[in-house]
Structure 1
């Protein structure tokens, strides 16, 4: 089996917004279902703020790995590490042990920035909006990636905005 790859999964707006006051600035039921389907059974790496924003901790049916430089912090029910590199090593080991092809970075902004150079896949939910936000996904060079899947979803009573789902694969890592 091939070595499992690091994937980033993110919902971001046209202005790269991903959050405001520790929450997402939209309601997208279809995106939450997609997140669950893609990540179920796979290790999830997140920062402390993302961990604390979860409505249920740990996220069920997935190993949760929390990155925090605060050695006194406790993320009950999750593995806790001090660096993104350590988290990636643990996620890769867990994925290899379970013969998984990928594991995920799920946020927040600082962790996305740190992990982007290591990522082989990006699962983007692009939200057709530019909400007021205080947290943003980092800029990246789309020329370094190939889009291998695209799907469009209109807004409806359970999804505040139209969205586009894209799966990007890094051309070379």
Structure 2
């Protein structure tokens, strides 16, 4: 499962950070990924306020073979990260792994994902990182929940769950 927050203009990041503040959506992120292994790129991992993410096996993908991150498993390829995540999911007895970014990791895993959990943020911020358009020929929206902006949120947002369409 890919978990991503995307602005209306496709932006997911600016300067290595989320270009918005949505405290209530961060609770949703925690709830969706809790108890599951998470696959994350090194730069996205470094942007987390709290590292490693508690309650989840953190699997960090980096090109730096010498990098060691306390509390996280470090891999040098997405394929190795996915294999480690699948093994961890089996040990935990969970049926999904969570891929949580960044853009390069999403690009390498979108073709093998079977579910997307997409938060659509009602903003058009500037950004240097985007998420690809979700192709309706490949994905079916199965759930949508709208959320008004809370007191600690910069904008309203909606959460969409997509499942991959089976090819014939």
- Place the TM-score, normalised by the shorter chain, in its bin: over 0.9
1:70 to 59, 64, 67: 64
TM (normalized to structure 2)? 0.95
- Who is 1:138 aligned against? 132
Count of equivalent residues: 167
Q: Distance in 2 between matches of 1:71 and 1:90?
A: 16
- Who is 1:4 aligned against? none
Q: CA deviation at 1:159?
A: 1.4
| Unpaired stretches in structure 1, ≥5 consecutive residues | 1-6
- Quote the RMSD (CA, aligned, Å): 1.2
Q: CA deviation at 1:73?
A: 2.0
Q: Distance in 1 between matches of 2:7 and 2:129?
A: 11
Matched-pair contact (CA < 8 Å) for 2:39–2:85: yes
Q: CA deviation at 1:109?
A: 0.4
1:103 to 89, 97, 103: 97
Q: CA deviation at 1:142?
A: 2.5
- Who is 1:17 aligned against? 11
Q: CA deviation at 1:172?
A: 2.5
Q: CA deviation at 1:138?
A: 2.4
| Unpaired stretches in structure 2, ≥5 consecutive residues | none
